Amino acid sequence: MRIKYIEGLRGLAALIVLFGHTICAFFPLLFPYPTVLPMPLDYLATQPLLIKAFVFTPLIIFYNGVSAIFIFLIISGYVISYNCFHNKDKNYITASFFKRYFRLTIPILFSCVISYFLLEVGAIHNIKASWASHSTWFSQFYACDADFFNMLKFVLYNEYSGPTREKLLCYGTIFWMMYALLLGSFLVYAFYALFARASSRLRIFIYIALIIIFSKTLLLAVILGMILFDMDANNVFRNVNKFILLIMLLSGIYLASLIRLDFPLYTILDIDFMKNYFGSWGGLYFFYYTIGAFLLFFALSRLSFSRKVFSSKVAVYLGKISFSIYILHFIVICSLSSYIFIWLKNYINASNELSSIELSSIVTFAITIVVTISLSHIFHHYIELKSINWSQSLYNLVSGQKYVGLNKSETGDGRKVQRPVKK
């Protein structure tokens, strides 16, 4: 049940990122994040009631893709810890450490090759679409020449070593957090390799040290995911009062829905000491998102209704293809969706410009969701799953071992894993 629930939550996070980028691209008024639409508070207050109901309230959590990234990172730390804890193969951590880079890079390489090809043939239309939607944020991307070798360098190295803003704008804004997925997983593997049998007291001291060291980075979210699993594995805070869980859930929603510190509901979070510590508003926002993701995960994993919802077949399916959704959705938005939006904006018979944008955005939004999920299903089966096999084959070649599959019933959680057999 727990693993299914986590898959479902990961699927929800992927959808939120997809919703958020689509809205930022074609109807940015709904997401006045400082780097997307830095509009004055007075102007936003003059907007229709429906727009203000989303923008000024926690309802924006349903498409705040920035905060959803931190749910991904929390889940990553939790799931990798789960696998390290439950897998009895003594070579599992070594093999996983080796394969992780290829597991992430191979699908990303295919997605960037698609971007390169579309850019080369002139099928990227986000800049023109940004003129129609008035999204200056959307106009920044793919404003570069198609360069295969630069793209290759970005995929193989730059995206994991703190990619520059210029590189991200050319190859996709979505890869800004990939270094945390890779380095965070390495951190978890190293922790379990060194301290899997350590006492609870020693692990607590190590966790505190890691939190202090990485408090200003995205790795904090991965560390908190690792801590959450340790708590669950040792039945710590397993039976928490439902009222307390609801308070934590609401607090998590509140923090995860933050987009502007000058909004009336969030001015209490505008703390000078915190801003000075993190050094920028971005660092402060990311810290709040990390804490919000932690509270959401903690509460949702202990509330029976949420476990049932996220264990549904649809949610679990979306979770399985979530990585494919993540690395493909922005390509769809910048190519097909942008083309459709431009066409609709020009030809929809509307009474004024604003209604034309609204109608075009709604239709484009629906098409984007359907196309992205469909393509992600195909990509997951023919690229993402293959990349896992290719990573395994490469490890077999290097290590001199071969692996045979275990039955799902042998793993205890429905996963099919591998066991080493000497050649």
Boundaries of every domain in the chain: 2-422
What number is the average pLDDT over the span 383-411?
73
- pLDDT mean across residues, the chain: 88
Q: Report residue 145's pLDDT band, with 50, 70 and 90 as the boundaries.
A: confident
Name residues whose C-beta falls within 8 Å of residue 259's C-beta, 6 or more positions apart in sequence. 31, 32, 33, 34, 55, 60, 64, 66
Structure confidence by residue, pLDDT tens digits, 355-365: 678 888 999 99
Comparison of pLDDT for 368 and 170, the residue scoring more: 368
Q: Report residue 418's pLDDT band, with 50, 70 and 90 as the boundaries.
A: very low
Name the CA dihedral angle for 63, 250, 33, 135, rounded to a multiple of 10 degrees.
20
| Tokens representing residue 359 in the block | 């109608």
Beta carbons of 112 and 156 less than 8 angstroms apart:
no
Question: What is residue 162's predicted lDDT score, i.e. its pLDDT?
Answer: 67
Question: What is residue 289's predicted lDDT score, i.e. its pLDDT?
Answer: 97
> Model-level pTM?
0.90
Question: What is residue 416's predicted lDDT score, i.e. its pLDDT?
Answer: 46
Question: What is residue 415's predicted lDDT score, i.e. its pLDDT?
Answer: 43
Beta carbons of 175 and 155 less than 8 angstroms apart:
no
Q: Report residue 79's pLDDT band, with 50, 70 and 90 as the boundaries.
A: very high
Nearest CA among 101, 90, 267, 285 for reference residue 183: 101
Beta carbons of 359 and 344 less than 8 angstroms apart:
yes
Comparison of pLDDT for 113 and 235, the residue scoring more: 113
Nearest CA among 237, 274, 242, 241 for reference residue 258: 274
Structure confidence by residue, pLDDT tens digits, 237-246: 878 899 999 9
Question: What is residue 350's predicted lDDT score, i.e. its pLDDT?
Answer: 55
Beta bridge partners of 405: 418
- Measured CA to CA in angstroms, residue 152 lies from 64, 115, 259 at distances of 30, 12, 34
Question: What is residue 76's predicted lDDT score, i.e. its pLDDT?
Answer: 96
What number is the average pLDDT over the span 394-401?
84
Q: Report residue 56's pLDDT band, with 50, 70 and 90 as the boundaries.
A: very high
Question: What is residue 410's predicted lDDT score, i.e. its pLDDT?
Answer: 33
Nearest CA among 310, 385, 295, 333 for reference residue 11: 310
- Measured CA to CA in angstroms, residue 23 lies from 97, 318, 421 at distances of 37, 20, 50
Question: What is residue 144's predicted lDDT score, i.e. its pLDDT?
Answer: 82
Question: What is residue 99's predicted lDDT score, i.e. its pLDDT?
Answer: 94
Question: What is residue 421's predicted lDDT score, i.e. its pLDDT?
Answer: 45
CA-to-CA distance for 420 and 423, rounded, in angstroms? 9
Question: What is residue 165's predicted lDDT score, i.e. its pLDDT?
Answer: 65
